[in-house]
Amino acid sequence: MMRAAIAVGLLAAAFAVPAPALAEHHDEVDARNEAFAALPYWPGYWVSEDQAGTTITGLAPAATASSGSSFSVNIMSLRGDNAPWNEEGQRRRADVRARAGGRKATGWGYPMMMNSATPLRYLITPEETIIINFYNEARYIYTDGRPMPAEEDMWPTTYGTSIGRWEGDTLVIETVMVEDPSAFFHGSPPFSEEARYVERIRLDGDRLINEVTVTDPVTLTGPWTVTIAHVRDPGFDRQIILPWDNDRTGNEDGLNTIELAPVE
């Protein structure tokens, strides 16, 4: 009987919440629902257009359609082949190429995860947008109005620090404090930790357009802009490699192969 009385008392207390408090709660819920409704929705798995349909062999149909070789067409424009490299940038690129032979990757990192054959997903909320790929690499872009942290409160990381904002249906992202990308993935451009990246991502029909502008006083003579189009594509299904210690990708005559045992 006592338990029943307590239960009734608790239930009565729950319904005794002041009307103004309930109204305020509903207002907050309504405001959040409106904020969600105003945001773009980019469902699906997205890969850069030139790499759509890439299989486990590493061959992209767009690159091999006419030549049969994936190396005759630049399908990863973010590598920086056409960037305005200064003397230091050219020196770094030569050093990266010299060390690339036989080197295994530990991931894509930023910015190359935005230009790879590994599908991306966009999880959009009013406070942040999360971009994640099949290898569980993730970028967190805060869109809650916070400013970029003070320089003394940041340090270089593989994906940098990103702050974003919405300009209509365009997501504008500013990213700083990125470690030399080539230190993480040998196919990345060797920008310095002083590089600043600005992306403008928008949906155009069935394509996501990402305009990337990079400024780096250490390696570039001026701003460099490249535009990447993404399309929905399931990509290739393969075991998630984390932490890349089960990599079975080999190489024979310039083509990727699948080995029977992990490759050291």
Q: pLDDT 10s digit of each residue in the chain, 264 long?
A: 444 554 545 555 555 556 666 656 666 778 888 888 889 999 999 998 888 877 666 667 766 665 554 444 567 899 999 999 999 999 999 998 888 766 677 789 999 999 987 889 999 999 999 999 888 899 999 999 999 999 999 999 999 999 999 999 999 999 999 999 998 888 899 999 999 999 999 999 999 999 999 999 999 999 999 999 999 986 555 545 555 566 666 666 656 666 767 666
pLDDT at 224: 98
DSSP track, 116-174: SSS-EEEEE-SSEEEEEETT--EEEEE-SSPPPPPGGG---BSS-EEEEEEETTEEEEE
Beta bridge pairs of residue 138: 132
Instruction: Give 103: exposed, middle or buried? Use CB within 10 Å, 0-12, 13-18, 19+.
Output: exposed
- In a domain, residue 19? The reply is no
- In a domain, residue 75? The reply is yes
pLDDT at 3: 47
Provide the whole-model pTM.
0.78
- In a domain, residue 211? The reply is yes
CA-nearest of 92, 76, 97, 72 to 228 is 76
- In a domain, residue 79? The reply is yes
Do 78 and 112 form a contact (C-beta atoms < 8 A)? yes
pLDDT at 74: 66
- In a domain, residue 81? The reply is yes
pLDDT at 262: 66
Total domains in the fold of the chain: 1
Residue 176 and residue 80: Cα distance in Å, rounded? 18
- In a domain, residue 25? The reply is no
pLDDT at 107: 81
- In a domain, residue 110? The reply is yes
- In a domain, residue 23? The reply is no
User: For residue 69, what are the domain limits?
Assistant: 46-258
